[in-house]
Structure 1
Amino acid sequence: MRIELLGLLSLVLGGVVLLAPPRMAFYVIVLSTLFGAAAAFGVPGLGGASVLVPSLLLAFFCLRLFMAHGERPVFAAVSSSSPGIWLLLLTVYGVFSALFFPRILQGVTETMIVLRSSAGHRIIDLTPLSFSSNNITQTVYALGGLFCFAFTFAYLKRGGTARDVVNAMLVLAVANLVFALLDVVTYRTGTAYLFDFIRTANYALLTGSEKAGFKRISGTFPEASAFAGYTIVLFAFTASLWLDRMRSMTTGVIAGLLLLALLLSTSTTALVSLAAVMVFLSWRALPATGPHGVTGRPAAIALALLSVPLCFMLVLVFAPGFADGVQSFLDETLYSKLSSQSARERMQWNAVAFQVFLDTWGWGAGLGSARASSYALVLLSNVGLIGAILFALFVGNTLMLRSDAGRYERAATRAAKAGVFAGLCEAMISGTVYDLGLLFFILAGSAAALRSEPVAAGAGSRTRLETVS
């Protein structure tokens, strides 16, 4: 087992977390999600699979919350009154499928999976269905997502506040922007090796590519599309806060910079997801019909939408040469994307994934057994129709939650739901594996917990149950 530098630092930080207040544990787990390409250590027995820094710190986060509040709020997170009940059922079913389906259905179909060697090499290939290390790693990630949701819920029900969620996410957004800027600066100055210590996971690293003359921003992630998928969640969160007039100057500036970073990432997935998120936010901007009457800046949204084509035409008039660069950018990012080698490969993954769903009679091949390029097909090929329905119930119930707490809690709940929606959009377009990342489950847990006032630690069991429900 090879332990990385960040792995050692994470162990030290985890020890500090166990001695610190639970609030610090929450901030640490939120900020750790930024290091999407940082391995804490590798596991040779699983083909060199990497245990990421966020996954390691998640264990300390859960332990600290359990030490502080016990198991009661964790069980409340997955009770029948919470969307977490569907996530619990999905995870149980997914773990069962990972352990048994590849063995029961061995050889019935062929699936696209990641093949790892002990030397750290990874290839994606079509192989007959059988049990593999991918079933183990995806099972661990699935359990991690469930624990992240439940303990985030527990923290916010036992002393955590909506301000903690907002503050942590704003700090995370700023850190993401700083690393994005450093990524571009180190690339242009030939010092990209300075980022090597946070790019240690056993992933294919595509951090030095350009498109239409633009450096594709990858930040702390292994590639630009991963950075864009992460950044669009932060953009949706901060833009939602701005719409709700929460810290307008701060959230407006951060949301604008995140939008610029998304465009500079030149990720096709980001652009398509951004269109869906903007529709969602524009709908949110309409005058509310509920009792709280939040207006959501409809005039500002309409002005921004109308000003985009006007500004674009003015640029073309005063800088005609700019049109060629824009045309080249759009051609490489959108127009020629479907005919690219990458697009053809991903369409093949989807075709194989759907065939796996058919060959397994709708049951799926087992969690971690198949890879696709759309989260819908990932679900169908891995956990089948039952798993897809359970996931839809989990996300649907999360997005339909309404907060009956204070103004700050309502704004934070809406922002968390916007982040969940953005993460789901990105995954549906290009998600390749079951794991959606810890940030998705932190926001889902926050939305579920902030719909009502937090429960005091000394309150009676009856009061706790009434608040949760």
Structure 2
Amino acid sequence: MAPIHWALTFMVVSTALGSAAAIGLPALGGASILVPNVFLLFFGLRVLMAYGEGPVLAAFVPAGAGFWLMVLTLFGVLTAILSPRLFQGAVDVMTVERSVGARSFISLSSLRFSSNNITQAVYALGGLACFGFCHAYLRRTAAPSHLIHAILIAATVNLAFAAADILTYFSGTEYLLSVVRTANYALLTAVEKGGLKRISGSFPEASAFADYTLILFAATASLWLDRVRSRATALLAIASLAGLVFSTSATALLGLAVVFPFLWIRSIVTVFERRKPGRPVFLAALFLVVPLVILTVVNLFPEVVSTVYDFLDEMLLSKADSQSGRERAMWNAAAYEAFVNTSGMGAGLGSARASSYLLVLLSNVGVLGLVIFWVFVAAILCARAAPDAGRRAESLAALRAAKAGFIAALSTALVSGTVYDLGLMFYILAGSASALTCRQIAEAEAPRPRLVGVTSPRRMGGSR
């Protein structure tokens, strides 16, 4: 009964609860259904109540990004049903073994149909639905400010959980966060590296927190470059960057190596597109000043440099020799073997795990699935703003922020992604970017169906 833009806000913010289970499924070996996946049902219901199924189905018109995502999802679900039976016993894969009442663990076993095929197929369908609902919402409301507002709230909530994680760790009150750590996952929330507490926030481990935080950093930094709510976006971007550093995640640092050049290049490009460039002078000065600062610190404080080097060596340079590095290398080797032994067809969605999204796709949905996925990615990244949206700075800013977050999610997934599902935030940003690149048609001004207790379309978030 609340205004529909509340539903979008809660949908985006719920993605910050990365280890909170809403439902446990004993029939599927104790698999956990997370809070955002359950709330997706209510978000979809609210969108359908307000706009009907037409705008949702319009997200999947042929040749669009949604169409390719739909093709990939349906193909993936088909492989989840057929491939494990077709190659049963002929392939060894890394898969999750679950036991009710205990944490799940990963082991090498012969390929067979399992609960992982079911859960990953459900997650894939949920991601497809999330894409359609977000696309429909932004197409009908034509209000990118709602997306920007939701991203800023999600970044604030994520940082609040990060601060709570640090405070409860050093005060011995970690049990206070047990309310958001209920999923049937292996929780690595009390780990130190290089003398620093690895921030995990509301996620099961530091790397998952870093992956999510990198998305929010990219989005908020992009908004700051576009001068959207400059004070808030600058503060959130800086705080998110600090959270990434203190997460001590190697994946986060590698992701920053992709996000920073992307933001810098797109900022320079805006010089040739409009009168207010995206702060290229500041960024250019930053690239000149940072090397000077580093050289000064090296000369004046050599002991600090030694400490930093030891920290980076433990976090990055020696990562491959660590137990975690060797374990993930074994996952990738098993995934590649599964790809080869299935003649490039894949072992089926959810059948195999890896430590790189590229190998996840190859080992699960094969070469065909990989090609379809990259067509979908290209459709999102190459789409340009609609002619009428081009006159609205807020629409362009929201589109750039969605693409920045999308790229951030891809960069971390390609380095350390373990399963097909990339999280609902990925599909929220993809659906939003798809909607913001569409022509805003007259239906955005069409009367909205009223619900009990709603007195005007404006209260439903339907008017401009």
Length-normalised TM-score, structure 1: 0.91
Match of 1:208 among 172, 187, 190: 190
* Structure 1 stretches lacking a partner, 5+ long: 1-18, 461-469
Q: 2:103, 2:186 within 8 Å by CA — same for their partners in 1? A: no
Q: Is 1:384 aligned to residue 370 of structure 2? A: no
Deviation at residue 458 of structure 1 after TM alignment: 2.1
CA distance in 1, matches of 2:173, 2:434: 43
SS, match of residue 112 in structure 1 = strand
Which residue of the partner structure matches residue 28 of structure 1? Answer: 10
% identity of equivalent residues: 52
Letter in 1 for 2:440: E
Q: Which has the higher contact order (CA 8 A, sep 6+)?
A: 2
Deviation at residue 324 of structure 1 after TM alignment: 3.0
Which residue of the partner structure matches residue 140 of structure 1? Answer: 122
Write out per-residue CA displacement over residues 160-214 of structure 1, whole angstroms, 9 at most, x where no aligned residue: 5110010100111111111111111111111111111100000000011011111
Moved more, 241-250 or 258-267: 241-250
CA distance in 2, matches of 1:175, 1:311: 32
Matches within 5 A, 1:404-415: 404=386, 405=389, 406-415=392-401
Which residue of the partner structure matches residue 464 of structure 1? Answer: none
Which residue of the partner structure matches residue 334 of structure 2? Answer: 352
Letter in 2 for 1:350: N
Which residue of the partner structure matches residue 441 of structure 1? Answer: 427
Letter in 2 for 1:88: M
CA distance in 1, matches of 2:59, 2:200: 34
Match of 2:236 among 254, 257, 262: 254
Which residue of the partner structure matches residue 169 of structure 1? Answer: 151
Letter in 2 for 1:456: A
Which residue of the partner structure matches residue 411 of structure 2? Answer: 425
Which residue of the partner structure matches residue 382 of structure 2? Answer: 400
CA distance in 2, matches of 1:155, 1:407: 19
Write out per-residue CA displacement over residues 284-326 of structure 1, whole angstroms, 9 at most, x where no aligned residue: 1214376545522221112222222322333445544322321
Letter in 2 for 1:411: A
CA gap of 1:394–1:459, structure 2 versus 1, over 3 A, is: farther
Which residue of the partner structure matches residue 158 of structure 1? Answer: 140
CA distance in 2, matches of 1:44, 1:64: 29
Which residue of the partner structure matches residue 453 of structure 2? Answer: none
SS, match of residue 100 in structure 2 = coil
Write out per-residue CA displacement over residues 407-456 of structure 1, whole angstroms, 9 at most, x where no aligned residue: 11011101100100000000000000000000010001110111233642
Letter in 2 for 1:127: S
Letter in 2 for 1:165: L
Matches within 5 A, 1:220-235: 220-235=202-217
Q: Is 1:458 aligned to residue 446 of structure 2? A: yes
Matches within 5 A, 1:303-382: 303-382=285-364
Match of 2:200 among 205, 213, 218: 218
* Structure 2 stretches lacking a partner, 5+ long: 449-464
Q: 1:287, 1:294 within 8 Å by CA — same for their partners in 2? A: no
Write out per-residue CA displacement over residues 43-71 of structure 1, whole angstroms, 9 at most, x where no aligned residue: 00100000110011001110111111111
CA gap of 1:361–1:293, structure 2 versus 1, over 3 A, is: farther
SS, match of residue 76 in structure 1 = helix
CA distance in 2, matches of 1:255, 1:430: 23
CA distance in 2, matches of 1:426, 1:379: 15
Number of residues of Structure 1 aligned to a counterpart in Structure 2: 442
CA distance in 2, matches of 1:388, 1:263: 32
Q: 1:76, 1:82 within 8 Å by CA — same for their partners in 2? A: no
SS, match of residue 137 in structure 2 = helix
